[in-house]
């Protein structure tokens, strides 16, 4: 690396955005594991029970035409499979993450809006407000 390129990299890393991004990725990965456990260990078993004891991990189609009791047995036999049960579980995980992110962003936006209401106006904003009000009175 050239000294200039090294300096640019240092400047990039030391900016708050890069650090915030790194923290967000780490927290996101941990959150993904939590959601994965929530779906696989808490949500899917009762759904499977309601659907007459279906184990979603064993919902698959064997492409070689043979019947296998479990997905693991099919994989051990080297059979190509379409694992639609795993796909359903992943879609549910995605929906939970999506709703969680939406709720988080919405809460942050509400907090920012409330904070902007309590922040005193700058001199420029006060002057612009007075001009706006004066123009309204003239009409």
Tens digits of residue pLDDT in 121-139: 788 988 888 999 999 998 7
pTM of the model: 0.63
Residue 135 within a domain: no
Residue 17 within a domain: yes
Task: Note the pLDDT of residue 9.
Answer: 83
Q: Do 89 and 55 form a contact (C-beta atoms < 8 A)?
A: no
Task: Note the pLDDT of residue 2.
Answer: 84
Q: Say what percent of the chain tops pLDDT 70.
A: 99
Residue 44 within a domain: yes
The CATH number that applies at residue 56 is: 1.10.1200.120
Average pLDDT for residues 89-94, to the nearest whole number?
Answer: 91
Residue 136 within a domain: no
pLDDT at 14 over 90: no
Residue 62 within a domain: yes
- Please give the structure tokens belonging to residue 114: 């409330």
Tell me the C-alpha distance between 104 and 53, whole Å: 35
C-alpha closest to that of 99 among 91, 87, 89: 91
Domain count, the chain: 1
Mean of pLDDT over the chain: 88
Q: Do 9 and 1 form a contact (C-beta atoms < 8 A)?
A: yes
What domain range includes position 53? 3-129
Residue 138 within a domain: no
Residue 120 within a domain: yes
CA neighbours closer than 13 Å in the CB half-sphere of residue 92: 18
Residue 134 within a domain: no
């Amino acid at each position: 690396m050239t000294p200039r390129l090294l300096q640019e990299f240092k400047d990039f890393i030391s900016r708050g955005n890069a650090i915030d991004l790194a923290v967000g990725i780490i927290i996101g990965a941990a959150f993904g594991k939590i959601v994965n456990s929530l779906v696989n260990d808490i949500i899917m078993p009762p759904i499977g029970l309601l659907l007459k004891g279906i184990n979603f991990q064993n919902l698959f189609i064997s492409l070689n035409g043979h019947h296998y009791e479990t997905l693991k047995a099919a994989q051990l036999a080297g059979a190509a499979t379409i694992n639609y049960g795993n796909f359903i579980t992943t879609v549910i995980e995605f929906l939970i993450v999506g709703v969680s992110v939406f709720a988080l962003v919405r809460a942050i936006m509400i907090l920012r809006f409330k904070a902007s209401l309590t922040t005193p106006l700058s001199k420029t904003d006060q002057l612009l407000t007075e001009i706006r009000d004066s123009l309204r009175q003239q009409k």
